[in-house]
Structure 1
């Protein structure tokens, strides 16, 4: 079981990431988070992950279970082939993976799914990984309210639903760890990526505020900021982006020709980078001593433009709040 030590000071660790414009030239280099270099044992740790049908969620579910964790891998629209495949793999390798149905845009599924996980563990949950998310393309003017609501409902409100469902148990047990997967595009901006950056900026702010607020309960929050990685988010944005484009007026299409021309098509998003960088970094963070976990980890082997923003942000937060009544919480999170 994962235990935390309340308000210990922590080292601010900065990871790696890359601009969307650099995705195509990203190398396949690994990070230093390889389990081969530092064996990790997650035995007894219960982990609930959203968005496990593919990408970081699916890779993570397997990785944490192979390190000994009890994993609740959630995905929407069950039954589906991805769920059957994961359950078959778990049975073959004797991994403790339970597949649960959670569509994070549906409150009743969030409530029922988290309750099922808590029932299976006797009422405790050590780690929540808010991984599920989606993208759409196009300029901001092209993002009608259908698209805007869909992006915020998935990338922001979905994480909030999961957080609110998990926190009561974490507060009762006096420990817990929440990972929110944002993006390097939650700190830096590339034009033409629709509401993706706005939602990830929002999740960054939500996560940092939450970290200060729950520190006194022994609960820690870590923000994962991936750069470009070749996951299925790029393929899954094709249909909703195509549907959005079909709703646009000729006036909007012609006003932003470079940004609307590719809507509904798939780019190479991520190059040759290794998506396992993210599960490795998360596993390493889970295994760190209580109070030493970083607020933000930027991940990518090539460039990390958001690191400068992370550093300045931490400095400003300390300067603004360290002598206020919030000082102890801010210091425990940022130091």
Structure 2
């Protein structure tokens, strides 16, 4: 029986084929998202692009945001929405800009006729190499995109969600938001920050009826690697001879980074559609029943034991204190 994969979703034009073409039994297992509105960052490729189409095909109204409009990816998505009568609106949003975030969220809320139901913080960057090689330009870009960008968009949607006493914020983290790999640059540092910020926010939003969920993907072949290769090579060109000599193998590997081509899933690699599928399942759950964290990968999940110990530690530390009800609401 045919199953949902990135391969059978990809059409020759590079856009995704209709989910309605799947067997009825398989399609019926996907959650109905009718009546929900999503704003997603970073929808030019990868999890964001796949998610925008998947949620819309399940009935959601989607505000797909990306930077640097006009661009071909935006026109592809708009054409797909017209051709298949999907409720997808493409908006320009660069998560590095306070002004652009505020403007895009305000426009999405205006078109939606009220506050948004779901924010998916997906835009991110990966820059490889040893930590010492990361100058402040690379460091600022990593944290401004992966951490401050999430905070900008969350603060933009939260006033409306708080007024309505409902909403869901989904923050894309990583396995490397809980475990550390040498030569990974400051990616883990930025995702550790996302994990902590998201968990604290989840506790604080309990009285407002708003859920926060952290998605922890493993390694997936997405086009984010194209930017990783670009940013890593640019950083490699700025590395001093002293630093290059101190970390010769890691610096050499910075030149060899390769990214997946559009629509390509190398043999043996997991399918990126698994991540937006998990998000769709979580969005369809009843408020207050959603998990704080969801690890998504068919292979090893090295963060699972860390997540378990962290949960137990938080409950033991705060469970009987003044914030105990909030912590238990999120973790239980």
TM over 0.5: yes
Establish whether residue 326 from structure 1 lines up as the match of residue 311 from structure 2. no
Q: Which structure 2 residues correspond to residues 68-87 of structure 1 after superposition, within 5 A?
A: 68-87=59-78
1:314 corresponding residue in structure 2:
311
| Structure 2: distance between partners of 1:325 and 1:299 | 33
Q: 1:159 aligns to what SS in structure 2? A: helix
Distance in 1 (alpha carbons) for counterparts of 2:283 and 2:238: 44
Find the partner of 2:176 among 182, 185, 190.
Answer: 185
Q: Could you tell me how far apart the structure 2 residues matched to 1:213 and 1:180 are?
A: 16
**Is 1:92 aligned with 2:83?**
yes
Q: Does the alignment pair 1:251 with 2:242?
A: yes
Pick from 256, 277, 282: which aligns with 1:285? 282
Match of 2:58 among 60, 67, 82: 67
Find the counterpart in structure 1 of residue 296 from structure 2.
Answer: 299
CA distance 1:225–1:248, change in 2 (3 Å): same
Shift of residue 58, structure 1, vs aligned partner: 0.1
Deviation at 1:121, TM superposition (A): 1.3
CA distance in 2, matches of 1:318, 1:286: 25
Residue 272 of structure 1 deviates from its aligned partner by 1.6
Q: 1:122 Cα shift?
A: 1.6
Q: In the aligned structure 1, how far is the partner of 2:273 from the partner of 2:230?
A: 26
Structure 1 residues 35 and 334: alpha-carbon distance in aligned structure 2, compared to 1, 3 A threshold: farther
Residue in 2 that maps onto 1:122:
113
1:243-281 per-position Cα deviation (integer Å, ceiling 9, x unaligned): 111111111001011111021432467852100001110
Taking the TM superposition and a 5 Å limit, the aligned residue runs for 1:135-154 are 135-154=126-145
Classify the secondary structure of the residue corresponding to 2:212. Answer: strand
Say which SS state the counterpart of residue 108 (structure 1) adopts.
Answer: helix
Q: Which has the higher contact order (CA 8 A, sep 6+)?
A: 1
1:37 shift after superposition? 6.3
Q: Distance in 2 between matches of 1:35 and 1:275?
A: 18
Q: Deviations over 1:82-118 (max 9, x none)?
A: 0000000111111000000000001110000000001
Match of 2:270 among 273, 288, 292: 273
Per the alignment, in what secondary structure is the counterpart of residue 148 of structure 1? helix
Matches of 1:177 and 1:72, distance apart in 2:
15
> Is 1:44 equivalent to 2:35 in the alignment?
yes
Distance 1:273 1:286 in 2: 22
1:261 match: secondary structure: helix
CA contact (8 A) 1:240 1:264 kept: no
Q: Aligned equivalents of 1:161 and 1:35: distance in 2?
A: 37
Match of 1:233 in 2: 224
Q: Is the 8 A contact 2:130 2:183 kept in 1?
A: yes
SS of 1:237's equivalent in the other structure is: helix
Distance 2:239 2:30 in 1: 52
In structure 1, the residue matched to 2:162 is 171
TM-score (norm 2): 0.89
Q: Which runs of 5+ in 2 are unaligned?
A: 1-24, 261-265
Matches of 1:35 and 1:139, distance apart in 2: 44
Instruction: Give the TM-score of the pair, scaled to structure 1.
Output: 0.88
Task: Name segments (4+ residues, structure 1) moved above 3 Å.
Answer: 34-37, 267-271
Moved more, 157-166 or 115-124: 115-124
Q: Is the 8 A contact 2:101 2:156 kept in 1?
A: yes
